[in-house]
A and B are shown apart, each in its own frame.
Chain A
């Protein structure tokens, strides 16, 4: 399974943008980039995914580098409810989702 690397933890101030990085230098051409988050005492929750182009949805934006070896999840205005562990994973045909340790995001009021 292709691997991803994320910082263990990050901090943000409330109502400021947050950029969560993910490195995936061994990504293959058929790997999709998925992001999930896990709020305290809850199951993981799907956030966004993409292949090559940047993606936006109501929760976040996903910026994918041109060489696809890295991506960034962007929360445009962090709220206290965004404090969670964020997982970046690569998904390809026939492979199961492999969750790494993720990035623990703290949001300061």
Chain B
């Protein structure tokens, strides 16, 4: 089944403790992206990657890092999480070629709480 898999689904952590949220897709998509969703603010893009070793900032990149060493994986790294990073996170992917003929496939989300 074609899918984007995020782990973990739920995570509670303490301020300053480094964490990684993993994202993997099995559709050979070039383009991958991370969004966060907060009440009243909708979905905001954090980082995106157009292919291996190519990443760029989205609208809200502060406090986050990403890497794209393999096409299928796009982990989101919080080096020193703070309470304002408490949010619902989504990873998504789509093909780059013929990009307008394909929509995003989203993961199921990771609910992160930083205390």
Chain A contacts to B: CB under 8 angstroms: 32, 34, 36, 41-47, 49, 51, 87, 91, 93, 96-102
Contact = CB atoms under 8 A, between A and B. Distances in A.
A49 B107 contact: no
7 contacts: A36-B104, A42-B109, A43-B90, A43-B109, A44-B92, A44-B104, A96-B33
A98 B42 CA distance: 10
Interface residues of B, number: 20
B42 A34 contact: no
A98 B33 CA distance: 12
Nearest to B106: A43
A102 B48 CA distance: 22
A101 B42 contact: yes
B108 A44 contact: no
Contacts of B115: none
Contact of A46 (B33, B42, B105, B108): B105
B90 A44 contact: yes
Interface of B: 4, 33, 35, 42-43, 45, 48, 58, 90, 92, 99-101, 103-109
Main secondary structure of the interface of A (DSSP, over half): loop
Contacts of A98: 45
A43 B107 contact: yes
A96 B108 contact: no
B48 A96 contact: yes
Contact of B103 (A36, A42, A93): A36
A32 B99 CA distance: 10
A96 to B, nearest CB: 6
A87 B104 CA distance: 13
With most chain B CB atoms within 10 A of its CB, the pick from A32, A45, A51, A97 is A97
Contacts of B106: 43-45
Contacts of A34: 103
B39 to A, nearest CB: 10
A102 B2 CA distance: 26
